[in-house]
Amino acid sequence: MLTFKANVLEEGRAAEWQSAALLLTFALILAVPGETTTSTAGFRTFVRLGLDDAALSAPVALVALSRMTALYVNGAWRRSPIVRMVGSIVGASIFAMIGMAFVWPALENGLSVSALSTGGIYFTLAFFDALSAYRSGADVRMVQQLSCRTR
């Protein structure tokens, strides 16, 4: 049986699990009744782009659950680093877009420390997801080398 310790800590996937959990939490918060995108200044950028809570929640939840599934499968049965790498790239893109949604209005209307700090948090998450994509790419090479040896 796959354990939390083996899959998350020993296999070095903790950052990927954390990112997927954050994406899922974000999606669930957007799915709660009420309008998060219209009540928070940073998310108003998405409203100007024609996106509401539901339009953001559903694809983000799909990405999060897909990443969690790929991480579980990767640890339990077979290696799927390409799927993990794609998930990390998509996650980094989502976090970067959210970060930009906070930073852009602050840059247009004068610097706001709260908007910049919130955007900075999302850019930090994007950076670590990009590192996870890099690590997954290294795993792709390792899987390819192992498959060449077994042929």
pLDDT tens for the 151 residues of the chain, in order: 455 555 544 456 788 899 999 999 999 988 888 777 777 667 777 888 888 888 889 999 999 999 998 888 876 666 678 888 888 999 999 999 999 888 887 777 776 676 677 888 999 999 999 988 888 887 777 767 766 666 5
Name 37's Cβ contacts closer than 8 Å, sequence gap at least 6. Answer: 30, 43, 44, 46, 47, 51, 52, 53, 56
- Compute CA distances 133 → 37, 127, 137, whole Å: 29, 10, 6
